[in-house]
Structure 1
Amino acid sequence: MNQPVLLTREQQRLIDRELEPGEQLLWAAPARPRIFTAHSIAIILFAVFWCGALLYFMGSFFMGEPSSHDAAAEQNGMFILLRILFLLPFIGAAYALFWFSRQESRIHGGICAVTDRRALLIRRSRSTVIRTEWSGERLDGLDIRTRQGNRGDIILGIRELRSKNGTRIIVHGFHGIDNPEQIVDLLKQAALAAPPPPATEPPQPEWPRTADRTTRHNLETRLSPGETIRWIAPRHPSLFNPTTGFLFIFGLIWTTVSFGILTVPADRIEGDMPSFVVAIFGILGLMALSSPWIHRAYARKQYYLLTDRRIIRYNPGLRTPSIHTCCYSALESTRLSIRPDGSGSLDIDYTIAKAGGMTNTFTLDNIPDIRNTCILARQLATANDSRTPSGETSS
């Protein structure tokens, strides 16, 4: 397909680095996702209401004239510090709301590319390269959402996030591209293309030094008869992720406020709270403060495995170990995050038939050489005919 030059040199180099040996690029163009969607507008409206209420509360909190009883207390800088620390989580929530309103357009942005084997969406997030790819059956039965000016969206995957408040649908694919009908024809050609031949069968991997005899026994007993391990690595979790980071900040503020109250003389606090109650809240704050280190110590006992039949995540558990498996056919929809040092994460989207078609994600995070690990998984998928149900958890 003859196409005009739509990419900068930096974008072209970014695509060239993601192509496999012998893979041919058929088309590439930058995505133009919508900035404002129904979901983002709802978040922005709520964020504006939240910030308005927060500003009103801060004005009455700091600018209100204190009564004679509180005048002496206001002179103490400790009370002002405690008030500021109390408001920090609400200010952080306001920032997070505006950040989430732009997140949907960010994940759909990047460079769209079609090769003779697959479809790619490549974008940068700071220094990390995030590559989403679709291949095989994922490229059949595509849907097009047209826009004005011969532009449209090509839907390559739909993810459903179900909760008590309802179902949110996230549409993945190529957003805001020109001539989508012509691109669909190229995608169908890629779906019919034969996959690359599998590489030579890798040797049996060595067990990590952190794996003791009990862990090896638990893993080997959970393999199917005749199943062999082709790759194994311990989990290398980050110290801070969205969950542990939030708990750390919450614990820091909670602990500071709790122990700050203990330093204030009892006669300066209206409605004197027993010290042991404040100490209990302080201990809870310390537990939240140490949650990143507790989570990392536990996660380091988990292992990722690639066998000749499936992908496995081993969890030691608090009482009994368990495994979470994903079949290789789910590699038709993956998202690869690559850091400058070569490490990264692999997210595999699969559908749970027992849950009414809900989409879930199987993640291999913080893998030292994630690019070669992904290539090995694709090679094992090519040589594998197994149809183990995705997302099956067994003890």
Structure 2
Amino acid sequence: MIAEYWLVILIIIALIAVSGFFSGSETALTAASRARMHQLEANGQHSAGIVVRLIQRRDRLIGALLIGNNLVNILASALATSLFLSLFGEAGVAYATLAMTILLVIFAEVLPKSWAISSTDRFAMTVAPFVRVFVAVAGPLSSVVNAIVRRLLGLLGVTLSTETSMLSAQEELRGAVALLHREGSVVKADRDRLGGVLDLGELEVSDVMVHRTSMRMINADEEPETAVRQVLESPYTRMPVWRGETDNIIGVIHAKDVLRALAGTGGDRKTVDIVKTAQKPWFVPDTTNVKDQLSAFLRRKAHFAIVVDEYGEVEGLVTLEDILEEIVGDIADEHDLEMQGVRQEADGSVVVDGNVPIRDLNRALDWNLPDEEATTVAGLVIHESQIIPEERQAFTYHGMRFIVMKRVKNRITKLRIRPVASESGS
């Protein structure tokens, strides 16, 4: 009789261990990173490939594991109840319930799941070969159970999505990066770079171009000596060449081409023909997707394009550097002009030039001002107010207080921006 008792106890212990295996496997396999598993599989980890194939059918996997877990839990509880009834009589039911609850919670739930969470990928790869065998056996039953569940929920008006995720790949990446940044694993600069890559497909050339009012251009009708001096004194290597009117772009001059022309004339600036030295201009629509424009730059091995609107009017220019700066931030070298436009004040406010792009301001100060309807800070204020504000007028939008400091004709040239919370607290 005693031997039978010990045999039952050993069976119960084994069932609790199997239950812990199912619980830990469910936690590890559902929490495992698909991207990490794909990478490990590519590096030759066979078990990582098994994990990838298992989590491709999460509903089948979870259903099979839950069936197995419940089977062993019920069997262990039934054996424990039978054992305690023979030992303690009617009171054995209460003792069995208490004992199995404690044992299952500690050894079949909390312990294995905590272990699985602490080393998710390693745990998942360790149990994957064994789980694959069990899923192959219990998978058909799991599919039947899932079908019944879907039918019952359908009667209640609830439809389960068959997709693995309701988020796009970009949204998942963006969310993961934002979470890692909040936890301190990803620094702000890296978060901004990754966000810049993800944002390329959502931007148009007009969002990143240099506006026509800020373009440096060469007049083809200027004296050759004057034109050469302007090219050599400019901080830019490429400049548009116009004739008659600024909308009539006839070429793009490169500083290297001018230097070659000067070498060919023995350094005589008066004999350099800027028009013949200039390259043919490349015109692109202002609605061109930035990602497509980047591909076009790389395909054509070009760095510079003139941006035009639907009527063919010049809107600005875009360079390969402008697009790269959307990813890595401002790229400065020893010939760049010092960019002025954002100044932090001691009172917590920020003085901003009206032509500062909203995206640049958001990136620099970690703000979230919308940039869908306007490209610049001045444009945002005009769009939100639906008027051209006067100096000293103030507006509150998107948690910020905008004060117009300077206006030239119809252009807002300087604003003061202060977070509303900062203003109310001061």
TM bin, normalised by shorter chain, reads under 0.3
Q: Which has the higher helix share?
A: 2
When Rg is computed on C-alpha atoms for both structures, the one with the higher figure is 2
TM-score (norm 2): 0.24
Q: Which has the higher strand share?
A: 1
